[in-house]
Amino acid sequence: MAVVPDDWTPRLASALAVAVREFCTPLGGEPVVCLDVGCFPWHGFIELSALTAAEMDADPALLDPREVASWRFYNFSEGVAWWAATAELRERMSQTYYAAEEKSRAATAEAFLRACAKAAAVPQVEAALSSLPRDPRFRVRVAHPDSGREFGAPVQ
Q: Quote the pLDDT of residue 155.
A: 35
User: Residue 44 above 60 pLDDT?
Assistant: yes
Are 112 and 97 in contact, with CB atoms under 8 Å apart? Answer: yes
Residue spans per domain, the chain: 8-23+31-142
pTM greater than 0.85 (yes/no): yes
pLDDT, tens digit (0-9, with 9 covering 90-100), for 70-120:
999 999 998 888 788 899 999 999 999 999 999 999 999 999 999 999 999
Residue 59: is it exposed, middle or buried by C-beta count within 10 angstroms (0-12/13-18/19+)? exposed
Q: What is the pLDDT of residue 26?
A: 87
| Entry field: residues in the chain | 156
- Mean pLDDT, all residues of the chain: 92
For the chain, the first-to-last Cα distance in angstroms comes to: 20
Contact 115, 6 (CB under 8 A): no
Does pLDDT of 1 surpass 90?
A: no
Q: Between the CA atoms of 90, 119, 129 and 31, what dihedral angle is there, to the nearest 10 degrees?
A: 60
Q: At what angle do helices 8-27 and 105-120 cross, to 10 degrees?
A: 60
Backbone angles phi, psi at 80, to 5 degrees: -95, 115
> How sure is the predictor about 146, in pLDDT bands with cuts at 50, 70 and 90?
confident
Q: What whole-number percentage of the chain has pLDDT above 90?
A: 83
Quote the CA–CA distance of 96 and 103 in Å, as a whole number: 14
Sheet order of strands, 134-143 included? 45-52, 32-40, 134-143, 150-151
